[in-house]
Amino acid sequence: MSAQWEPVTPPFKLVATEQSHSLGNRQLRRQHSVMIEGGMIPRARVMDQHMIDRYLMGGLLDLAQHRAAERVLELATIAGIWPTGINWHGSGVKGERNYVPYGAFPFGRALVRVKRRYGRYHVFVLLEVVCYDVDVHGDDYKMQCLTESLGLLSRGGGSGPLRKLRAAADKKKGGAHEGAPVAVAS
């Protein structure tokens, strides 16, 4: 006795509920701010894809802080903090395999910089908002932590040797280098 296979027809029709095309659908436009670029082939760009984009559009972050947040997001991607994992198959000098995850170092340095200046909680809030899109605009303290962290990262600097040379040269000239921190006596 052999069983015969019979095709099963679904009790419903597989029809899209909303019209979708290359410029997105109504649901996408309802959830995000979409800009349509004209030209021979129009394209739709989502303007507020991440939480940091929404904060920029809402005036909660300035442009320098937004650029710093995008840089942190880029460093996190290079470091491989998401489930795809670190790229362990990089090539080193002379084609030898190198298993050191060099992408993690710049990301770690940025986080250590925030941690040294403000503490662990600022790093936590920075990671939650920038990397994991957690909305904190309802909490004033978390928003302050985020803006302080991004402000620190947007100023750049660090303790590199060129910065020290510029500061020494400017001290000799009598003026401060643009972007260099100014010591304020309290």
Is 163 part of any domain?
Answer: no
Give yes or no for a contact between 117 and 124, defined as CB atoms under 8 angstroms apart: no
Residues 186 and 184: their CA atoms lie apart, in Å, by 6
Give yes or no for a contact between 35 and 44, defined as CB atoms under 8 angstroms apart: yes
Domain that holds residue 134: 61-158
Is 100 part of any domain?
Answer: yes
Is 170 part of any domain?
Answer: no
Number of structural domains, the chain?
A: 1
Retrieve residue 171's tokens: 């001290």
Q: Taking the model in full, what pTM does it have?
A: 0.61
Write the CB contacts of 54 (distance below 8 Å, at least 6 apart in sequence).
Answer: 48
Is 142 part of any domain?
Answer: yes
Placement of tokens 């597989």 in the chain: 14
Is 48 part of any domain?
Answer: no
Is 111 part of any domain?
Answer: yes
Reported as a single tens digit per residue, the pLDDT across 146-184 is 999 999 999 875 555 566 666 677 677 665 545 555 544
Is 180 part of any domain?
Answer: no
Is 89 part of any domain?
Answer: yes
Mean predicted lDDT score pLDDT of the chain: 75
Reported as a single tens digit per residue, the pLDDT across 78-128 is 887 876 655 565 555 566 665 666 778 889 999 999 999 999 999 999 999
